[in-house]
Amino acid sequence: MSSKDVILGRIRSALSSGVDAPEIPRDYRRGEAKVDLDLLVERLTDYKAVVHRISAEKSGISAAILEILAEGTVVVPPGLPTDWLPEALEAIVDDGLTAEQIAATDGVVTAAAVAIVETGTIVLDASPDQGRRIISLLPDLHICVLRPEQVVASVPEGVARLDPRRPLTWISGPSATSDIELNRVEGVHGPRNLHVILLAA
């Protein structure tokens, strides 16, 4: 008898006296709510992300990036619009770079899939403009460009927009730990600097 059969048999016997599956009360806030970009900025900033708000014009993106990083190399996903990048930076497109190559760059620029106002969270889903998970992990600086239509108010709306078949990375501020006296301290293994460029609505 396989262990699977053993375990399933034990479970069925444990439940044999009859256990009802309850209705799930869904009276918490679920529906679509108004997006408050100011609150998003406040929540991101509260967890030590640096937010740059720019006008709706795409041309502002490269200027904003340049303000964050004046020189050096950045790794970028293959689907990132090339006009986002300032010429002063050397962009290395990830076409299967090694971990060492990625770790040696000064930063990474990605887009995002979803952002959640209430928690100050951005979510990457490895789409072509966000790339493999590794590229947003090893560089010490992550610059994430966010469009207003990607922003939702709450966690339920965020979950509803995401596709679980894609690898997802939820990011709320730079890498941090609560392991020393239970206070949040920024800067452990993930990028220690998180900059969010938020386009105006």
Partner 1 sequence: MTFLGMPARAPRGVGHLRGDESFPVAARKALANSQLRRNLQHATTTIRGKSGRVIAELPDWQELRSAGSALKAYTMARLPELLEQLEENVTAAGGVVHWAADANEANRIVTDLVRQTGERRVIKVKSMATQEIGLNEALEAAGITPVETDLAELIVQLGNDKPSHILVPAIHRNRSEIREIFLKAMPDVDPGLTDDPPVLAAAARRYLRETFLSTKVAVSGANFAIAETGTLAVVESEGNGRMCLTLPETLITVMGIEKLVPKWSDLEVFLQLLPRASTGERMNPYTSMWTGVTPGDGPQAFHLVLLDNGRTAVLADEVGRQALHCIRCSACLNVCPVYERTGGHAYGSVYPGPIGAVLSPQLTGVADNPSLPYASSLCGACFDACPVKIDIPSILVHLRNQAPHPRTEAAVMAAAAYTMDRPKLYASAQRAAKLARIAGRRGRGLPPPLNGWSASRDLPSPPKETFRDWWRSR
Q: What angle do CA 54, 147, 93 make, to 5 degrees?
A: 95
Q: Which is nearer to partner 1, 18 or 55 (CB)?
A: 18
In the complex, the smallest distance separating the C-beta of residue 24 from partner 1, rounded to whole angstroms, is 5
d(CA 30, CA 24): 14
d(CA 5, CA 28): 38
d(CA 138, CA 140): 6
> Which of 157, 97, 14 lies closest to 6, judged by CA?
14
Q: Which is nearer to partner 1, 86 or 156 (CB)?
A: 156
In the complex, the smallest distance separating the C-beta of residue 60 from partner 1, rounded to whole angstroms, is 28
In the complex, the smallest distance separating the C-beta of residue 130 from partner 1, rounded to whole angstroms, is 11
In the complex, the smallest distance separating the C-beta of residue 155 from partner 1, rounded to whole angstroms, is 5
Q: What is the dihedral of CA 127, 128, 132, 135, to 10 degrees?
A: -120
Looking up tokens 């979950």 gives 159
Q: Are 145 and 115 in contact (CB under 8 A)?
A: no
Q: Which is nearer to partner 1, 62 or 175 (CB)?
A: 175
In the complex, the smallest distance separating the C-beta of residue 181 from partner 1, rounded to whole angstroms, is 5
Q: Which is nearer to partner 1, 107 or 173 (CB)?
A: 173
Q: Which is nearer to partner 1, 71 or 166 (CB)?
A: 166
d(CA 193, CA 173): 8
Q: Which is nearer to partner 1, 47 or 106 (CB)?
A: 47
In the complex, the smallest distance separating the C-beta of residue 7 from partner 1, rounded to whole angstroms, is 5
d(CA 109, CA 85): 9
Residue 52 bridge partners (DSSP): 197
